[in-house]
């Protein structure tokens, strides 16, 4: 695309309606999207749709596949629209902490490698990945989906340590929901070898033949549901934002819901001064964005929980 073409597009938002240029519409739309992402999104929302054709409150299709990786003790692949996350659980044996001899370990981490999006660089985990890992850890620990006491092999001597590693293969927004789904699905698929602790050798032996599934707290199976708020001329609440929408959001809301529809956590990150146009969207006092998020999240969580069964 030439420099002249770019310049002709820069004046476009002020000029209003697009003037016919020699290029194809698709290319002009693409340039407009690159240069004026806010205006681009705004015009879609004014028509009540999002750039990918969804309605503001609509979620992307989700696909879950478990157990495809033979080198892991449990694994899951999740596709949420374009976002693809693979998660594998590896079990190792460790000594428990001195102050909690009857607790095992779970160690969830997510990696956003350079392969998944041009915005990530190779090297140590980015800030985004660090924050995501922390949030995932928080969701798994606070929900008590896997009681750590069930990971004990011998009290004070040996416990299981589950490394739950998720890797993003394709990043198209909302990695939190996809990663949490992948981690919970992988845990549901995990089996551990029958282990016996031998006090004379102080070693643990595992059986090759017998494998037992984890004793998961099925009523506490958590799923994440994220929303984003955009300001502009048509303030909207977008469910399951894509990687194009994410940088344009003024605030995000993540709800974690357990298997019985109970809310485990709500997290709202607001940036700037926008209140997501709450006054326009919800004119009745006492209602707001959160009030519309929670029921939407509960409805959606029922569908995700069905996928986990």
Partner 1 sequence: MAQGSFDRRRINGPEESFPPVFDAVEEHAKIWSARRDRGDADIRPIFLQPGLISQANGSAYIETARTKLACAVYGPRQSKSTTYSEKGRLNVEVKFAPFSCTRRRAPLRDAEDRSLSVAIHRSIVSSVCLELFPKSTIDVFITIIENDGIEGCIASGSIAASAALADAGIEMLGLVASCSAVVLGDETRLDPTEEEANASDGIVIVACMPALSSITNVWESGRLTANDALKCMEMCQDRCIDIHSVIAQSLSSNNKTA
- Least distance between partner 1 and beta carbon 195 (Å): 7
Pair type for strands 158-170 and 105-111:
parallel
Q: Does 84 bind partner 1 (CB under 8 A)?
A: yes
Non-local CB neighbours of 149 within 8 Å, separated by 6+ positions: 102, 103, 104
167 is an interface residue for partner 1 by CB under 8 A? yes
Q: Which is nearer to partner 1, 205 or 271 (CB)?
A: 205
Q: Please report whether residue 178 would count as binding partner 1 according to CB under 8 A.
A: no
Nearest to 224 by CA among 174, 268, 274: 174
Rule CB under 8 A: is residue 122 a binding residue for partner 1?
Answer: yes
Determine if 161 is a binding residue for partner 1 (CB under 8 A): yes
Q: How far is the CB of 35 from partner 1 (least distance, A)?
A: 19
Binding of partner 1 by 170 (CB under 8 A): yes
Rounded to whole angstroms, what are the CA distances from 256 to 223, 264, 267, 294? 6, 5, 9, 10
Q: Does 206 bind partner 1 (CB under 8 A)?
A: yes
In terms of CB distance, is 57 or 125 closer to partner 1? 125
Question: What is the closest distance, in whole angstroms, from the C-beta atom of residue 80 to partner 1 in the complex?
Answer: 13
Alpha carbon of residue 14 to chain centroid: 37
* Piece of the chain touching partner 1 by CB under 8 A; list 56-64, 161-169, 251-259, 301-309: 161-169
Q: Does 218 participate in binding partner 1 (rule CB under 8 A)?
A: no
Query: Does the footprint of partner 1 cover residue 171 (CB under 8 A)?
Result: yes
Three-class secondary structure assignment of the chain: CCHHHHHHHHCHHHHCCCCCCCCCHHHHHHHHHHHCHHHHHHHHHHCCCCCCCCCCCCCCCEEEEECCCCCCCEEEEEEECCEEEEEEEEEEEECCCCCCCCCCEEEEEEECCCCCCCCCCCCCCCHHHHHHHHHHHHHHHHHCCCCHHHHEEECCCEEEEEEEEEEEEECCCCHHHHHHHHHHHHHHHCEEEEEEEECCCCEEEEEEEEEEECCCCHHHCCEEEEEEEECCCCCEEEECCCCCCHHHCCEEEEEEECCCCCEEEEEEEECCCCCCCHHHHCCCCCCCHHHHHHHHHHHHHHHHHHHHC
Q: Contact with partner 1 (CB under 8 A): which of 42, 60, 80, 88?
A: 88
Residue number, 105 or 282, with CB nearest to partner 1: 105
C-alpha 126/C-alpha 263 separation (Å) is: 29
Query: Per-residue x/- mask for partner 1, residues 100 to 119, rule CB under 8 A?
Result: -----x-xxx-x-xxxxxx-
175 belongs to the binding site for partner 1 (CB under 8 A): no
> In the bound complex, what is the minimum distance in angstroms from residue 309's beta carbon to partner 1?
23
Stretch that binds partner 1, among 58-66, 133-141, 177-185, 277-285 (CB under 8 A): 133-141
| Residue among 124 and 286 whose Cβ is closer to partner 1 | 124
Number of residues that bind partner 1 (CB under 8 A): 54
Closest CB to partner 1 among 14 and 71? 71
Cβ nearer to partner 1, comparing 109 with 174: 109
- Which residues of this protein are in contact with partner 1, per CB under 8 A? 68-72, 75, 82, 84, 86, 88-97, 105, 107-109, 111, 113-118, 122, 124-125, 130, 133-134, 137, 161, 163, 165, 167, 169-172, 193, 195, 203-208, 243
């Amino acid at each position: 695309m030439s420099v002249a073409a770019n310049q002709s597009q820069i004046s476009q938002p002020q000029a209003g309606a697009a003037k016919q240029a020699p290029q194809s519409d698709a290319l002009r739309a693409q340039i407009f999207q690159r240069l004026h992402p806010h205006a681009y999104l705004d015009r879609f929302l004014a028509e009540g749709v999002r750039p990918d054709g969804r309605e503001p409150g609509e979620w992307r299709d989700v696909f879950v596949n478990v157990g495809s990786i033979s080198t892991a003790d449990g694994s899951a692949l999740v596709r949420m629209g374009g976002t693809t996350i693979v998660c594998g659980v590896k079990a190792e044996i460790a000594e428990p902490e001195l102050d909690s001899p009857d607790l095992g370990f779970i160690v969830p981490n997510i990696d956003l490698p350079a392969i998944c999006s041009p915005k990530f660089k190779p090297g140590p985990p980015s800030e985004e990945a660090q924050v995501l890992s922390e949030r995932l850890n928080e969701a798994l620990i606070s929900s008590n989906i896997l009681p750590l006491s069930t990971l004990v092999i011998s009290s004070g001597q040996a416990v299981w340590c589950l490394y739950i590693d998720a890797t993003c293969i394709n990043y198209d927004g909302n990695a939190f929901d996809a990663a949490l789904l992948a981690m919970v699905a992988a845990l549901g698929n995990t089996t551990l070898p029958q282990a016996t602790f031998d006090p004379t050798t102080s070693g643990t032996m595992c059986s090759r033949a017998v494998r037992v599934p984890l004793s998961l707290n099925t009523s506490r199976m958590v799923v994440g549901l994220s929303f984003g708020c955009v300001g502009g001329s048509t303030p909207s609440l977008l469910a399951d934002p894509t990687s194009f929408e994410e940088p344009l959001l003024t605030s995000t809301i993540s709800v974690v819901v357990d298997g019985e529809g109970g809310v485990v956590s709500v997290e709202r990150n607001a940036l700037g001064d926008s209140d997501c146009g709450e006054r326009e969207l919800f004119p009745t006092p006492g209602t707001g964005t959160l009030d519309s998020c929670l029921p939407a999240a509960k409805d959606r969580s029922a569908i995700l929980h069905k996928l986990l069964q």
